[in-house]
Amino acid sequence: SSAMRTFLMKNVYRHPHVVRMVSKGERFLERLFELYRSNPRELPLHYQARIAEQGLERVIADYISGMTDHYCLEEYKRAFLPL
């Protein structure tokens, strides 16, 4: 119903906390993508082997799309928040 859609848009999909989290996730993904594009050797070897046939950007997209949220966060920390 229209009332339900309006309620969900206001209180769930466009809630400020949700919008912030989505934005943060997008930044993580963009930075990881740029990391792998500028340094393909950061990719696992079996992904590196596919670059010549499929292209670097396609391989990076496939790799990132297969990540769990937890793994993505760990990769981000490893790459950008070294101890």
CB 57 within 8 A of CB 37: yes
Condensed to tens digits (0 to 9), the pLDDT of residues 34-66 reads 999 999 999 999 999 999 999 999 999 999 999
Can you state the angle between helices 16-38 and 56-65, rounded to 10 degrees?
A: 140
What does the pLDDT read at residue 66? 97
Domain extent at residue 68: 2-80
What does the pLDDT read at residue 15? 83
Count up the domains in the chain and report the number. Answer: 1
Condensed to tens digits (0 to 9), the pLDDT of residues 8-30 reads 888 888 888 888 988 998 999 99
**1 confidence band (pLDDT: 50, 70, 90):** confident
**68 confidence band (pLDDT: 50, 70, 90):** very high
